[in-house]
Amino acid sequence: MGRPFRHHASGSTRHFLWSRPAGARPCGTRSERPSQCGGCRRSFLSASGCRHVGPLPPVYRQRFRAHASGRRGRYSHTGAIWSLSCVRIRTLRQTYGMGGCSGPRRRRADCGPERSHGCTSRKAPAGGNRFMSPIMPHSPLPASSGPSAPLRVAHVMAGAATGGAELFFERLCIAQAASGLSVLPVIRQEKARAQRMQAGGIAPTELTFGGMADLTTRWRLKRALTAFAPRVTVAWMNRAARFTPKGNWVLAGRLGGFYDLSYYRRCDHLIGNTHGLVRWMKEQGWPENRVHYLPNFATDLADTAPARPDGVPPNAPFILALGRLHKNKAFDVLIRAMRYLPGQWLVICGEGPEREALEALARQEGVADRVLMPGWATQPGGLIRACSVLVCPSRHEPLGNVVIEGFSALKPVVAAASQGPTELIRSGENGLLAPVEDAQALAHQLGTVLEDPALAHRLALAGRADYDQIFATGPVLTAWQQFLSSVEAP
């Protein structure tokens, strides 16, 4: 092994010495040409390297060559001395994960514990010093590409704290890591999401993903992706697609709705979670071989213990709806439908800007005493298992994760005939559909299920069969594995 990096200072210029192989004889001369040895006149950044310094791993040759190109450097072979300004060294250190202090140094020696020059850096790990991590010329590459190396995938999510796509992102990352893939999740700073993913055995990278004034997220994201070296990077929805750069990986945009495709102009491929969404992307001009259908999976709730909500009388049947309190979810239609279902209870779990309007509507319709809105459910699986029927009344619903969760929990599902539920439900076979915006028709379908236990059981069994065949973890992970291992950049 070579010696670790060493450091000295001269005025305001920082010099970092690249280590040479043990036993190599330094030439003691200098060269003003970037990356050229002053003794043998060979580039130590070349594949063969310099006989005084030795070859560098390809990934480091590429990185250091990028910083050296177009800049005057100074090299000598007591190691290769690279003269850079303070700002460039700080950029180099941040970009490639090199540790070290950024305070002014007046001495040649390593930072001592007294830190008299204002250094706040931590002590270096074994094998290195305090200024740079102990990266040796002959150390292994960060991302092995050998035949036994696991497939590497990065997922970038900059969505809201809650939501169907965001929760599926968490489930997918955790499941892929458990299946043996090497997974890098990059998320918008969100403490609860980070804790859930850590509890699932995977540590996410958290970035800001701010607005137009966010000048740091893009290069930090590129640094993280470059260091991880994924085969495929998946950008989830618009904001993530806007920030995720192209690189030495296949870039795929994952859509959960009919989004503005201009956000995905850098993507090599697009992923849709419904056949309807895939058809629409092709209609917008995307080539057929660059658009892919990969369905969602839901947690298997068949063995989850039922958990009745507070406020519903014991043993009373109740209707359950889950989702953000937003106009697209059409909970106003559902509340109006309750007028045609006397004596039945409705629980809507979620939060959002429509709460006050929905509460006022419940009072206006005279059903406020039978409509409960307890907020977000921390454990919705137990509520789904306890309900009598699960309902999805959405005006606009590209998929409807809640429908798949109902299938998983062996519960009958009633939904409005929007895009996603229409694709998932064969009305009368594995669920019931009602026209969008029709409160009376929705109430009729709900009443049919509540009054006919045999029908409810038959619908639940058919839904569970669809879950096992299409939407369970195993089939979906297999589809993702096939995509990740075979997709290529155009």
Please determine, for residue 411, whether its predicted confidence score (pLDDT) is greater than 60: yes
For the chain, give the percent of residues with pLDDT over 70: 70
What pLDDT score was predicted for residue 161? 83
DSSP element (H, E) containing 432: strand 432-434
What CATH number does the domain containing 383 carry? 3.40.50.2000
Is 307 among the domain residues? no
Residue ranges in 128-213 assigned as alpha helix (H)? 164-178, 191-199
Q: Hey, is 5 helix, strand or coil?
A: coil
* In a domain? residue 306: no
User: pLDDT for 67-93, tens place per residue?
Assistant: 444 443 333 333 333 333 333 333 334
Number of domains within the chain: 3
One domain, residues 463 and 482: no
- Per-residue burial over 130-166, b = 16 or more CB atoms within 10 Å of its CB, e = otherwise: bbbbbbbbeeeeebeeeeeeebbbbbbbbbeebebbb
Q: Do 458 and 369 fall within a single domain?
A: yes
For residue 308, tell me if it sits in a domain.
Answer: no
Same domain, 269 and 130: no
Mean pLDDT across 209-238: 94
Is 116 in a helix, a strand, or coil?
coil
Mean pLDDT (whole number) for 20-47: 46
The answer to whether position 89 is within a domain reads yes
Domain presence at residue 328: yes
Under 8 Å between Cβ of 27 and 67: no
For 383-396, what is each residue's pLDDT tens digit? 999 999 999 999 99
Q: What is the CA radius of gyration of the chain?
A: 29
Same domain, 450 and 466: yes
Query: Is the domain of 482 the same as that of 453?
Result: no
**Same domain membership, residue 291 and residue 373:** no
Does 235 share its domain with 188?
yes
Phi, psi of 232 (to 5 degrees): -135, 135
Domain that residue 127 falls in: 1-105+114-141
At 43, list the tokens: 């580039």
- Taking a C-beta distance cutoff of 8 angstroms, is the pair 11, 86 a contact? no
DSSP secondary-structure letter at 337? Answer: H
- Asked if residue 229 has pLDDT above 90, the reply is yes
Residue 346 pLDDT > 70? yes
Of residues 382 and 164, more confidently modeled: 382
Burial (CB count <10 Å: 0-12, 13-18, 19+), residue 471: buried
Report yes or no: 419 and 257 within 8 Å, Cβ to Cβ.
no
| Rounded-to-integer distance, Cα 384 and Cα 331, Å | 17
In a domain, 310, yes or no: no
Q: Are residues 129 and 225 located together in one domain of the fold?
A: no
One domain for residues 363 and 438: yes
Instruction: Give residue 40's pLDDT.
Output: 53
Q: Are residues 182 and 133 in the same domain?
A: no
DSSP per residue over 66-100, as a string? HHHTTS---EESSSEEEEEEHHHHHHHHHHTT---
Mark whether 280 and 324 lie in a shared domain.
no
- The CA distance from 347 to 340, in Å, is 16
pLDDT reported for residue 117 = 38
Tokens encoding 328 = 């697209």
Q: How far from chain centre, in Å, is Cα 456?
A: 37
User: Would 309 be classed as within a structural domain?
Assistant: no
Assess whether 279 and 169 both reside in one domain: yes
Tell me the pTM. Answer: 0.66
Q: 311 lies in a domain?
A: no
CB 353 within 8 A of CB 290: no
